[in-house]
Structure 1
Amino acid sequence: MNDTYKHSEVTESDTTLNAILDLIVEGTWDWNGETGHVTRSPGWYRMLGHEVGIFQENVFTWENIIHPDDYKRVMAHFEQYITGQSTQYLIEYRCKKSDGSYLWIIDRAKIQAYKADGTVARMIGAHHNIHNKKLAEDEVCKLNKLLQQDNMSLDNLIKINAKELENKNQELEEKIREVDLLSNIDLLTNIANRRSFEKELKKEVLRSRRYNHPLSLAIFDIDLFKNVNDTYGHKIGDDILQKLCKLVSANIRELDFFARWGGEEFVLIFPELTVKKALIATEKLRTLISQFEIEPGLYITCSFGVTECTDKDTIEALFQRIDKSLYQAKSNGRNRIESL
């Protein structure tokens, strides 16, 4: 690496670096593997149409904007590089912009330091806008395919209305997103359903191991909910489920994942929380729920099971442990939290 600048004071070098980063059109990023903190340049935000500094400075921000069709490929490439299976990190993929569209970028990075255990301590990279180049390549491929199929003359190919094709593709993508949303949402409570939760949990377990972050899981259900339904009717029962979900959703972090497991049973994923911190979070929820007046004179309570994911845990092992925790909470009097 060439030493372009040689400053005598740290403040001088900081001033130069910040000025350069503010001028760079493309986006740079700096990941601290010790803390999980990610610093992104102003250009990174501008390239994607976002207000500078609007996102949390962690790896979740990056992973959450990767196009779903590119996600597995990008994560596989990233893991191969940080585990030493590959000597280079260089990959093209799509990132979500502020207007919901996707931008093709090329991502380059290099590890700068390692921890004592051999895992990454620091990694610096840059995102470069290659969207127009990719669109041009795609158009050439489409034209070549049509020519090879001999379905049109060259004159007709030239007259293709590119804007019309783009609109059709956009309509199709919107329909796909709509169908995907409906298949992942519980229609009664408007939170994630069991199918969506299972997908998210697998992703979070992999992410926890990739970045060496803690991960905790909670399951809870409404105590004696059958009695509530029998006494007040199923309409009130549905209202309780809806109001409970709104209450919980308003009192968890943005990066937490909340889903309906089935019936009156719900699950929570707590990324980057140890079991000790997850117990604090669930105790807050348990108290809020027990004090919340659903209808005049109507209160409910919930029992919780909490556990932390280990390096050796399978999804099945996690659920066996958390189910056992919930069973203990029920057996020990309900309206309480147990952890294994």
Structure 2
Amino acid sequence: MNDTYKHSEVTESDTTLNAILDLIVEGTWDWNGETGHVTRSPGWYRMLGYEVGIFLENVFTWENIIHPDDYKRVMTHFEQYINGQSTQYLIEYRCKKSDGSYLWIIDRAKIQAYKADGTVARMIGAHHNIHNKKLAQDEVSKLNKLLQQGNMSLDNLIKINAKELEKKNQELEEKIKEVALLSNIDPLTSIANRRSFEKELQKEVLRSRRYNHPLSLTIFDIDLFKNVNDTYGHKKGDDILQKLCKLVSTNIRELDFFARWGGEEFVLIFPELTLKQALVVTEKLRTTISQYEIEPDLYITCSFGVTECKDEDSIEDIFQRIDNSLYQAKSNGRNRIESL
């Protein structure tokens, strides 16, 4: 590596670096594997149409804007590189812009330092806008395919209205998103359903192992909910479930995942929280719920089971522990938290 700049003081080099990063049109990123902190250049935000600095500076920000159809491919490539199975990190994929559309980028990066255990301590990369080039390549590919199939003459292909094709593709993509959303949402409570939770848990377990981050789970249900239904009726029971979900949703972090497991039972995923930290958060939820007056003189309580994911855990191991924890909480008097 050539030393282009030589500064006598750190403050001078910082000033130069920040000035350069602010001028670069494309987006650069710097991941600290020790802390999980990710620094992104102003150009990264501007390229995607976001206000500079609007996101949390962690890996979740990056993963959450990757197109769902590209996500698995990108993560596989990333893991192969940081685990030494690949000699370079270089991949094309789509990132979500502020207006909801997706931009094709090419992502290049290199590991700069390793920790004592051989895992990544620092990695620096850059996102380069290749959207127009990619669209042109895709259009040529489609036209060539039609020509090879003999479905259209060259004259007819030239007359294709590109804007109309793009509009149809956008409409189709919106319909696909709508169907996907409905299949992942619980219709009564408007939070994620069991199917969505199972997919998210698998994703978070892999992410936890990829970055060596802690991951905890909580399961809870409403105490003696059958008595509530028998006393007030099922319509009132549904109303309670809806109000409970709104209460919990407003008292968890944006990166936490909340879902209905079934009936009056719910689950929470707490990324980057140890068991000790998850117990603190869960206790605040338990207290908040027990003190919440659903309507005049009507209160409910919940019992909670909490566990932290371990490297050797299977999904079944995780569920077994939180199920056992919840059972203990109910056996020990309800309106309490137990953990394994």
Q: TM-score range by the shorter chain?
A: over 0.9
Summarize the alignment of residues 75-154 of structure 1 with structure 2, pairs less than 5 Å apart: 75-154=75-154
CA distance in 1, matches of 2:55, 2:115: 27
- 1:121 Cα deviation from its structure 2 partner: 0.3
For residue 152 of structure 1, report the CA deviation from its aligned partner: 1.4
Q: Which residue number in structure 2 is paired with residue 25 of structure 1? A: 25
Report the Cα distance in structure 2 between the residues aligned to 1:146 and 1:90, rounded to whole angstroms. Answer: 31
Query: How far has the Cα of 1:151 moved from its partner?
Result: 1.4
Between the aligned partners of 1:316 and 1:21, the Cα distance in structure 2 is 46
TM-score (ref. length: structure 2): 1.00
TM-aligned CA deviation for residue 153 of structure 1: 1.3
For 2:43 and 2:94, locate their aligned partners in 1 and report how far apart those are by CA, in whole Å: 17
CA deviation vs aligned residue, 1:168-220 (integer Å, no higher than 9, x gap): 00000000000000000001000000000000000000000000000000000
Q: Aligned equivalents of 1:198 and 1:151: distance in 2?
A: 43
Structure 1 stretches of at least 4 aligned residues deviating more than 6 Å after TM superposition: none
Deviation digits for residues 227-257 of structure 1, max 9, x if unmatched?
0000000111000000000000000000000
Return the alpha-carbon distance in structure 2 between the equivalents of residues 54 and 116 of structure 1: 33
> Residue 207 of structure 2 corresponds to which residue in structure 1?
207
State the superposition RMSD in angstroms: 0.4
Q: Percent same amino acid at aligned positions?
A: 91
Of 145-154 and 73-82, deviating more is 145-154
Post-superposition shift, 1:150?
Answer: 1.2
1:74-125 residue CA offsets vs partner (Å, 9 max, x unmatched): 0000000000000100000000000110000000000000000000000000
Q: Secondary structure at the match of 1:296?
A: coil
For 1:120-160, what per-residue CA distance to the aligned partner results, in whole angstroms no more than 9, with x for missing partners?
Answer: 00000000000000000001001101111111111111010
Q: Which runs of 5+ in 1 are unaligned?
A: none
3-state SS of 2:25 partner: coil
For 1:317 and 1:77, the matched residues in 2 are separated by: 28
Give the match's secondary structure for 2:327: helix
Name the CA distance, whole Å, in 1 between partners of 2:311 and 2:165.
47
Alignment partners' CA distance in 2, 1:296 and 1:48? 48
SS at match of 2:201: helix
TM-superposed deviation, 1:291: 0.2
Distance 2:111 2:154 in 1: 49
Q: Give distance in 1, aligned partners of 2:310 and 2:303.
A: 23
Distance in 2 (CA, whole Å) between partners of 1:327 and 1:142 is 57
CA distance in 2, matches of 1:17, 1:228: 62
| Partner residue, 1:178 | 178
For 1:118 and 1:150, how far apart are their aligned partners in 2?
Answer: 55
Alignment of 1:291-330 (within 5 A): 291-330=291-330
Task: State the distance in 1 between where 2:202 and 2:153 align.
Answer: 49
Which stretch has the larger CA shift, 144-153 or 305-314? 144-153
3-state SS, counterpart of residue 72 of structure 1: helix
Separation in 2, partners of 1:305, 1:80: 35
- Give SS of 1:197's match: helix
Partners of 1:198 and 1:155 in 2: CA distance = 50
Structure 1 CA distance, aligned partners of 2:295 and 2:169?
47
Q: CA deviation at 1:295?
A: 1.2
CA distance in 2, matches of 1:148, 1:258: 49
In 1, distance between residues paired with 2:189 and 2:315? 25
1:281-325 CA deviation, whole Å, 9 max, x = no partner? Answer: 000000000000011110000000000000000000000010000
Deviations 1:45-88 (A, max 9, x none): 00000000000000000000000000000000000000000010
* Paired position in structure 1 for 2:43: 43
1:127 is paired with a residue whose SS is: strand
Distance in 1 of aligned mates of 2:320 and 2:147: 57
The whole-number CA distance in structure 1 between the counterparts of 2:145 and 2:76 is 30
Which secondary structure state, in structure 2, belongs to the residue aligned with residue 165 of structure 1?
Answer: helix
Aligned residue number for residue 14 of structure 1 = 14
Q: TM-score, normalised by structure 1?
A: 1.00
Q: Secondary structure at the match of 2:270?
A: strand
Task: State the Cα deviation string for residues 263-283 of structure 1 (Å, max 9, x = none).
Answer: 000000000000000000000
